[in-house]
């Protein structure tokens, strides 16, 4: 028989992982859980602590407990959400949805198979701008089996990456960085000559082993670079193990 604190933490975790409680939302206070489940305060506290130990929530003194924003623990480089990063650099961000459709996933495509082998996806193509110039063309798949709300989400004004960060929790991610020449479609979207060298970023995210999204972003190589600053292990100024400081930079 499952202990009550484990059942409580499991039910709360399901609401977080389903996206019902997005990152930043406060979960019920312990006294509210005590009333809801008819349990002792210590039982509610144990359930919430289990969520904190799993990295699903952050406990803030006097403020409450909030759904945590998932983080990659061992990534060499994190790729920032483009809207946030462009604005952080003091530039004007804009976004354009170019195409959208719902279709079955193609399990014969290796990139798609890494996301899911069955089910429907929302397929999107869009452009990101910095100071009115094309910064990136993005092709994205969102798996409706994990993020069903994406079927009706309005991506004409809200970039899918920003929408996912706000609505769908994830637990794992993988990035791949490569170079490729722009084909005619990508070149037209980036407003560069066909064959221009492009930086290609691929990213998959999963939640508990189930694919959430796959995205491929292409940047004109001469206008973009990735930057990561490192401190040697155990030799950073704070005396802690060195970690990379990620970022992106337009030239």
Mean pLDDT of the chain: 83
Is the pLDDT higher at 124 or at 210?
Answer: 124
Mean pLDDT of 183-208: 91
Instruction: Supply the CATH number for residue 124's domain.
Output: 3.40.1410.10
Q: Residue 79 has what pLDDT?
A: 55
> Per mean pLDDT, which range of 41-45, 63-67, 171-175, 237-241 is the poorest?
237-241
Q: Judge if 50 and 87 occupy the same domain.
A: no
d(CA 190, CA 177): 18
How crowded is residue 220: how many other Cβ atoms within 10 Å of its Cβ?
24
Q: Residue 153 has what pLDDT?
A: 94
Q: Residue 72 has what pLDDT?
A: 36
| Angstrom distances, CA of residue 33 to CA of 42, 75, 156 | 11, 36, 39
What are the structure tokens assigned to 79, written together? 């790729």
How crowded is residue 122: how many other Cβ atoms within 10 Å of its Cβ?
21
Q: Residue 16 has what pLDDT?
A: 83
In a domain, residue 73? The reply is no
Q: Judge if 101 and 196 occupy the same domain.
A: yes
User: Measured between alpha carbons, how far apart are the two ends of the chain, in Å?
Assistant: 60
Query: SS3 sequence, 64-129?
Result: EEEECCCCCCCCCCCCCCHHHHHHHCCCCEEEEEEEEEEEECCCCCHHHHHHCCCCEEEEEEEEEE
Is the pLDDT higher at 77 or at 149?
Answer: 149
Q: Judge if 103 and 127 occupy the same domain.
A: yes
Which of 40, 67, 94 is at the close of a domain? 67
How would residue 244 be classed by pLDDT, with cut points 50, 70 and 90?
A: very low
In a domain, residue 20? The reply is yes
Q: Judge if 23 and 123 occupy the same domain.
A: no
Q: Residue 204 has what pLDDT?
A: 93
Q: Judge if 44 and 108 occupy the same domain.
A: no
Could you give the count of Cα atoms lying within 13 Å of 189 in the half-sphere of its Cβ? Answer: 25
> Per mean pLDDT, which range of 19-33, 82-96, 132-146, 230-244 is the poorest?
230-244
* pLDDT over threshold 60, residue 73: no
Q: Residue 190 has what pLDDT?
A: 92
In a domain, residue 110? The reply is yes
Range of the domain at 189: 82-250
Task: Please give the DSSP secondary-structure letter assigned to residue 148.
Answer: G
Mean pLDDT of 176-192: 91
In a domain, residue 138? The reply is yes
In a domain, residue 152? The reply is yes
Instruction: Supply the CATH number for residue 42's domain.
Output: 1.10.10.10
Q: Judge if 60 and 129 occupy the same domain.
A: no
Crossing angle (nearest 10°) for helices 30-37 and 41-53: 120
Which of 37, 67, 97 is at the close of a domain? 67
* pLDDT over threshold 80, residue 131: yes
* pLDDT over threshold 50, residue 238: no
Q: How many domains does the chain have?
A: 2
Q: Judge if 245 and 126 occupy the same domain.
A: yes
């Amino acid at each position: 028989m499952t202990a009550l604190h484990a059942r409580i933490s499991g039910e709360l975790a399901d609401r977080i992982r389903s996206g019902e409680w997005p990152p930043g939302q406060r979960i019920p206070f312990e006294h509210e859980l005590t009333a809801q489940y008819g349990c002792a305060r210590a039982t509610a506290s144990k359930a919430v602590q289990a969520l904190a130990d799993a990295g699903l929530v952050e406990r803030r003194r006097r403020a409450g407990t909030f759904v945590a924003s998932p983080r990659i623990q061992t990534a060499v480089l994190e790729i920032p959400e483009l809207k946030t990063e462009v604005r952080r650099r003091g530039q004007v961000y804009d976004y354009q949805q170019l195409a959208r459709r719902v279709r079955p996933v193609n399990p014969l495509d290796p990139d798609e198979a890494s996301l899911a082998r069955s089910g429907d996806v929302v397929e999107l193509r869009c452009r990101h701008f910095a100071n009115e110039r094309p910064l990136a063309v993005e092709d994205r798949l969102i798996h409706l089996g994990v993020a069903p709300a994406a079927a009706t989400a309005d991506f004409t004004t809200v970039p899918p990456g920003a929408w996912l960060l706000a609505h769908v929790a994830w637990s794992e991610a993988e990035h791949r960085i490569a170079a490729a020449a722009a084909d005619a479609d990508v070149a037209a979207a980036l407003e560069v000559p066909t064959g221009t060298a492009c930086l290609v970023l691929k990213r998959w995210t999963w939640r508990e082993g189930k694919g959430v999204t796959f995205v491929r972003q292409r940047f004109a190589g001469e206008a973009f670079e990735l930057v990561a600053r490192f401190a040697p292990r155990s030799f950073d100024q704070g005396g802690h193990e060195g970690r990379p400081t990620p970022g992106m930079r337009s030239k």
